[in-house]
Every structure is written in structure tokens, then in C-alpha cells.
Amino acid sequence: FEPWNEPAAKPLIQFQNVTKRFGEFTAIDNLSLDIYEREFFALLGPSGCGKTTMMRMLGGFETPTEGKILLGGQDIAPVPPNKRPVNMMFQSYALFPHLTVYDNIAFGLKRSDMPKSEIAGRVEEMLKLTRLGKFAGRKPHQISGGQRQRVALARALAKAPKLLLLDEPLGALDKKLRTETQFELMDIQERTGTTFVIVTHDQEEAMTVASRIAVMNDGLLVQVDTPGRIYETPNSTYVADFIGDVNIIEGTAQPAGEGAYTVAWAEGQPALSVQSATELGAGDRCFFAIRPEKVAISAEKPADRPNAVQGKILDIAYLGNISTYHVELPGGVIIKAQTANDRRISRRSFTWEDSVWLSWTATAGVLLAN
């Protein structure tokens, strides 16, 4: 299910060959990217890859050294931060402690040129949107962490920005509240139709909330795509490894026609059979990436699968709904296989030291050049 329908989308933000240098250091390197209207877009990458710099350029707190950023087709370079239809949601501790929820939300509106008569209506609308009506008269310390987060969101959306920037907005929340708040963010984004750009280094968060994800490394975009395509068809081992759990097997490719390849990868092991969209030449070094849940585990060798290897169970991680097995092959390669713990479908379970077969189809993984 891919709710994001690209052909219908209209760009709100366009980075055009943007480079940002700090002295000698290049933080953003000739980057081009469109972010669409009504989109929930995530910038994902390790610390120092340039995510915050991208946000600061959108907010107007940094200017590109080269290139342009357009908003609705207009270059935003000459527009100062407070004149941009852009707002930033801060973590909840940025609320004013001495003001009520109502006054926190009204704060920015009172300082704008919005007529007083309109402010009350707008605040009411925001209270309703974030389900904070009952708490309007309370101070931040009299409400829960999740409610404070919603006040911060209401305050950021009060002036109806075209673009809302969220820099690690949920970092201070515990795991459970974080997950709940992610769903609230998605719901509110959908209802307001505001474009949201979130920065996170939490890949699960990006997968949950975003219509599209940009995976960054060293000031470059490595892959920009829907969560589903990033997960199913990563363009590099960097992306495969960054998003979710993966097995990566290095080998040598041999084209077998019509996108089929065999991959030699270890002494004494049969070559892998892979159907792949990546074009590789005979003898090219390559990487086969396969998610643990695509690797089946069985006691007997399956007759109908083109790839089957035998090994011994080293470790089992039981997580309730799923179990992950670490299986060591002769020669020392370890492969992770994951199974659903559903009594209706799993016929048996395995234990340490069991000798098992791991198998997968030709289309279960992807072949990558780097």
C-alpha cells in the first residue's frame, strides 16, 4: 500500500544544486531535491550528514553558498526567516512555562498583524485540531508530556504555515508515547494539508510518518523514495543497512540473461540465483542484500527453492510476535532469518545447535553494485 501518488504532486520546495560550505568544509554538496505540497517528508541519516543544515536553510537561518531554494516557484534567499511561510516545531520544553496552553498557542498570533477578533477563533481551531480543548486554561507543568507536545504543534501551526519543520521533535518522549505521537502527527498533517519536513535519525520513525524519505550521507542524497521502495529496493548497501535489518553477502556476479544472475560467494557453497534490476557485468563484484524475514528456515531441504544453504543455529532472539535466528554456515558466515510466531502458520520451532536449512526465492533480495 503506497498512499503517496507522485504524478499528482506539485513541488512546494525545490533545492536546485544547493551547496553549503562552512569555511573549507562542505556540509551540503550540490544537492537537488523537490518536496511536494501536502507531503510528509523525512530527512534521515547519521549524525553530521547535513540534515539540520537543510532545515536551517529552509527556515532562513543559513543561506546556501551556491544554488537556489525555491518555495512555490520563488527564490526564498531574499526573504528573512520571520517573513517566510515556514515554521518550526520545537521540543515541548520550548513552551512558555508561565503561560496557559491557550496563551502559548495564541502567542505568535498576538505578535502578528492578525486582528484580535480572529485570534480567538484561530486558537479554538488549533485546540480542537490537537484535542486540547479541556486543557486550555492549564500551564505546561499541569499537563502530560504528550499533551505538551501537542501544544507545541498547535503553536507551530497556528499561523497556518505552508511548511512545518520538525527537527527531532519526539526525541524527549519515551518509546510508547513517541509511537502514539507519531500517529497524531500523521493525522494532523493530513487534516491540515501542511507540508511537514521531519529530521530524524530514527529510521522506524521516518518509515512510520513519512510519505517519502531522503536517506543522506556526507551532504549527499543517497536515495529518495517511499518507505516501501526504500525498504524493498534499496539502491546501495548503505541504504539497505541504514533502514531495517539486512543480510549482506559479497560475491561475484555472472549474468544469466533477462535480469537473472548467479552469484559466486563462498567456497563450497552453491552460487546464488538472483533476479535483479541492477545491471552488472560478468565478474563484477556485487552485494546480495536480503531481509531476514525473506529467509525461510526449515528442518528439511526445501525442494522448490532456487537458493538453499545449510547451517547451525547460534542464537535465537524471541520478540513475541517474531523470532530472529542467527544461523552459522560452514566457513563462518552468519545469516539472520526471521519468522512470525503465529501458531496457525508455524509448524515447528527450532532451538540452539539445530542443523537447519535457510532458503529463499530468486526475487527475495536485491543485487547491489556498492
Q: Binding-site residue total for ligand ATP (CB under 6 A)?
A: 12
Residue indicated by cell numbers 507545541: 152
**How far, in Å, are 203, 217, 246, 306, 349 from residue 242 at the CA level?**
7, 10, 9, 28, 29
Least CB distance to ligand ATP at residue 202 (A): 11
- What is the bridge-based pairing of β-strands 163-167 and 195-200? parallel
CA distance linking residue 332 with residue 172, whole number of Å: 41
Which residue stretch of 20-28, 101-109, 118-126, 293-301 sits at the interface with ligand ATP (rule: CB under 6 A)? 20-28
Contacts with 316 (C-beta within 8 Å, 6 or more apart), sequence order = 323, 324, 325, 326, 350, 351, 352
CA distance linking residue 129 with residue 9, whole number of Å: 25
**Residue 24 interacts with ligand ATP (CB under 6 A): yes or no:** no
Q: Which stretches within the chain are classed as H helix?
A: 51-59, 101-110, 116-129, 145-157, 175-192, 203-209, 227-232, 237-242
Least CB distance to ligand ATP at residue 26 (A): 9
Which residue stretch of 2-10, 43-51, 274-282, 294-302 sits at the interface with ligand ATP (rule: CB under 6 A)? 43-51
**Residue 52 interacts with ligand ATP (CB under 6 A): yes or no:** yes
**Residue 49 interacts with ligand ATP (CB under 6 A): yes or no:** yes
Which residue stretch of 46-54, 154-162, 172-180, 349-357 sits at the interface with ligand ATP (rule: CB under 6 A)? 46-54
**Cβ closest to ligand ATP, residue 48 vs residue 281:** 48
User: Of the candidates 1, 5, 8, 47, which one interacts with ligand ATP according to CB under 6 A?
Assistant: 47
**Residue 201 interacts with ligand ATP (CB under 6 A): yes or no:** yes
Contacts with 48 (C-beta within 8 Å, 6 or more apart), sequence order = none
Which residue stretch of 42-50, 220-228, 246-254, 279-287 sits at the interface with ligand ATP (rule: CB under 6 A)? 42-50
**Cβ closest to ligand ATP, residue 222 vs residue 327:** 222
**Cβ closest to ligand ATP, residue 218 vs residue 354:** 218
User: Of the candidates 17, 32, 48, 334, which one interacts with ligand ATP according to CB under 6 A?
Assistant: 48
User: Of the candidates 41, 51, 153, 213, which one interacts with ligand ATP according to CB under 6 A?
Assistant: 51
**Cβ closest to ligand ATP, residue 1 vs residue 25:** 25
SS3 317: strand
Which residue stretch of 45-53, 190-198, 225-233, 244-252 sits at the interface with ligand ATP (rule: CB under 6 A)? 45-53
- What is the bridge-based pairing of β-strands 272-275 and 285-290? unpaired
Cβ contact 148:92 at 8 Å: yes
**Cβ closest to ligand ATP, residue 17 vs residue 74:** 17
Cα atoms found within 13 Å of the Cα of residue 220, Cβ hemisphere only? 6
CA distance linking residue 290 with residue 288, whole number of Å: 7
**Residue 100 interacts with ligand ATP (CB under 6 A): yes or no:** no
Please give the grid coordinates belonging to residue 35.
518536496
Site for ligand ATP, rule CB under 6 A: 22, 25, 27, 45, 47-53, 201
